[in-house]
Each structure stands twice: as C-alpha cells, then as structure tokens.
Amino acid sequence: MNPKEGNASIMGERGACVEGIFGEVVSSDLDKLDKAEAAPRHYRRELLRVISGDGAKVEAVAYVANPRMVRAGLKPTAEYLSHLLAE
C-alpha cells in the first residue's frame, strides 16, 4: 500500500450523518468481516445506534479506523473511492 493512500472511516461529530447500508449477519459473518477489514489492527468494531431509511432506530456494527492508522493528508485511490460511492 502506498503510504499516502487511506481508507474510509467514521468520525464522530454531533448531528453529523453517515450514509451506508446494513443487514443482518451472524457471528461467523462478523469473523469474516473482521478478517476483511483487518480488525483489530486497522479497524475496530463499534456498536452504533442508527436510523434506518424508514426511521426505525436500530443497533448496528460499524468498522472504525483505529486512531493509530489515521493521518492527515491520506487520500483514497480512485478505485476505492469508486467502490465506496457505487450504488
């Protein structure tokens, strides 16, 4: 990986909004996601309260970058950014 390349994360800010998708997973799926997201080294799992598109409040797991992996000036590759923005 290029030392100037970065990946997505969530940063807490009161009143802010993060868009995404969610669905139900079983614990074995979380183990697979941990591996794909390099948890716990690069990302950590966090339990968040989210509001779904229909307004329901639910708890969800999100992967958040570990602070030691975050640095100013990092930018996503065009391919990664395209993946993030795909519908």
Rounded to whole angstroms, the Cα distance separating 61 from 22 reads 9
Residues 6+ apart with CB under 8 A from 43: 9, 37, 63, 64, 65, 66, 69
pLDDT interval class at 1 (50, 70, 90):
low
> What pLDDT score does 87 carry?
57
pLDDT interval class at 27 (50, 70, 90):
confident
> What pLDDT score does 32 carry?
94
List, for residues 36-49, the tens digit of each pLDDT value. Answer: 999 999 999 999 88
pLDDT interval class at 68 (50, 70, 90):
confident
